[in-house]
C-alpha cells in the first residue's frame, strides 16, 4: 500500500459547509467540504483511490 500523509487545514465556512484545504509535501492539493450538520468534525479523513472505467 502506497500512503501519502497530508494536512487538512480549515479555511472558512459557507452557508452549509466547513471548507478545508488539503496539502501534501508531494504537491497534491485539494478542497474538502464537510457538511455543517456533521458533528463532530472528523480529526482524520482517509481517502481510497478506486479504479474507474476512464482510468488512465
Cell numbers at residue 23, please? 496539502
Q: What pLDDT is attached to residue 45?
A: 86
What tens digit of pLDDT does each residue of 6-38 get? 988 999 999 999 999 999 999 999 999 999 999
Inter-residue long-range contacts of 4-8, CB under 8 Å, 24+ positions, other chains counted = 4/28, 8/32, 8/45
Cell numbers at residue 36, please? 455543517
Q: What pLDDT is attached to residue 56?
A: 58
CA geometry: angle 30, 5, 1, nearest 5 deg: 110
Amino acid at each position: 500500500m502506497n500512503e501519502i500523509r497530508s494536512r487538512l487545514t480549515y479555511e472558512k465556512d459557507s452557508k452549509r459547509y466547513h471548507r478545508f484545504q488539503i496539502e501534501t509535501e508531494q504537491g497534491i492539493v485539494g478542497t474538502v467540504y464537510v457538511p455543517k450538520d456533521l458533528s463532530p468534525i472528523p480529526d482524520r479523513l482517509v481517502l481510497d483511490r478506486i479504479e474507474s472505467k476512464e482510468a488512465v
